[in-house]
Amino acid sequence: MKARPIQDHRLVGVPFIESPNQNERPDAQDIQLVVIHAISLPPGQFETPGVTQLFTNTLDPNEHPYYREIEALRVSAHLLIQRSGAITQYVAFDRRAWHAGVSSWGGREVCNDFSIGIEVEGTEDQPFEPIQYDVLNQVLNALITEYPNLSRTTIAGHADIAPGRKWDPGPFFEWDRIGVGAIPTE
């Protein structure tokens, strides 16, 4: 599977909607991990503007009861892969997105400092779409090509870096479809 090109730390040909929820990494060259997340907003609904609104701090708390619970969150990810396979980028890869929260991987704390966060639109109780795996593999190939510290063994789920606190990408995510190797835990 071919890689999508990256230029200036952005995927070429992908809409870029800059999130204010980002900042400089302690070391812009220290990209060691890709974290796979799952999201749907409102919960269980797909292809809505909710994720973009969350990542741009524009959620309308009157639009859905769940939005009242999360409207104060200041979070982001580098990318979103929707059910259709469409990609949106919110944070350049050399910048720190706010996706991992309290986390650790391979003995290191604060995974936001050294990781790229990819949200795959989905829930814990439904399979993901085949096109999402195809697109995710293209993105992973591009990231592994562009950032020398990444490989198929430096990919983890949010649940792997924040066990007991996060569930995603969940039991329906088919790790074998992205060829993940051994994932270091603690």
* pLDDT of the chain, 186 residues: tens digit per residue: 566 799 999 999 999 999 999 999 999 999 999 999 999 999 999 999 999 999 999 999 999 999 999 999 999 999 999 999 999 999 999 999 999 999 999 999 999 999 999 999 999 999 999 999 999 999 999 999 999 999 989 999 999 999 999 999 999 999 999 975 434 444
Q: Is 28 left (phi over 0), alpha (psi -120 to 50) or beta?
A: alpha
End-to-end CA distance of the chain: 31
How far is Cα 86 from Cα 126, in angstroms, rounded to an integer?
A: 19
Give the three-class secondary structure for 35: strand
User: Which among 51, 53, 54, 100 is positioned nearest to 73, based on CA atoms?
Assistant: 54
**Is residue 23 assigned to a domain?**
yes
**Is residue 114 assigned to a domain?**
yes
CATH of the domain at 107: 3.40.80.10
pTM given for the model: 0.94
Q: Among all residues, which ones are annotated catalytic? A: 119
